[in-house]
Amino acid sequence: MSKKRYGLAIALGAFVALLFAGFYYFTFAYKRDQLPIVGNPGHVVGAFSFTDQTGKTFTEQDMNGNVSVVEFFYTTCPDLCPRMNANMDKVYEKFKHIPHFEILSYSVNPGYDTPPVLAKYAEQYDADPAVWKFLTGPASRTYSLAEHDYLIGSVDSAHVSGLFVHSQWWALVDQHRRIRGFYDGTNPQDITKLMHDIRVLLKER
């Protein structure tokens, strides 16, 4: 074989290998980074109206276009919530400067956790309310949101009389208010996976 034909064969072989690599990535590797959509077809987080730590109203419409990490907690929780929010702070520090990212922390004790109480609590994390929102609202809607909208009740056993009480589980919600995953807020491996999955959803935009 002439040097010219040999070089052409090498180039052709490299081109075929490149095509195969691209095919493999988009068929297999790329698909591995696709997160499932949780819940019945068409399920999205429904209507609500809560108040954040600054006294500003926050509704489901404010979630549109954002990737949201959602938890349920209360400020006087002695053990679980401090561990969860120490991990949430790590997520916050990693993504707080990224557009279209937010953290939504709903209080399950709205009778005590008023906006001023939430604002004081948020200070320990130096939380920017534009990114990390601590929310309070009607208790019945809070429980309903957790169980029926964010579907955390489906992975949690902390219920009383059928109502969600508290959980270490977090939900990841995409820009269309669809649930894309659940994560144990006390588990370092889950926190690592959450950070990866946040990046996946931000790329989907």
Q: How many helices (H) and strands (E) does the chain have?
A: 6, 9
In this structure, what are the phi and psi dihedrals at residue 176, rounded to the nearest 5 degrees?
-105, 15
Q: Which two tokens stand for residue 62?
A: 């404010």
pLDDT of residue 205: 76
Q: Among residues 150, 189, 155, 200, which one has the least CA distance to residue 171? A: 150
Fold of 49-204: Glutaredoxin (3.40.30)
Q: What DSSP string describes 111-147?
A: TT--HHHHHHHHHTTT--TTTEEEEB--HHHHHHIII
Over its length of 205 residues, how does the chain's per-residue pLDDT go in tens digits?
554 444 444 444 433 333 333 433 333 344 457 899 999 999 999 999 999 999 999 999 999 999 999 999 999 998 899 999 999 999 999 999 999 999 999 999 999 999 999 999 999 999 999 999 999 999 999 999 999 999 997 555 444 444 445 689 999 999 999 999 999 999 999 999 999 999 999 998 7
pTM, rounded to two decimals: 0.81
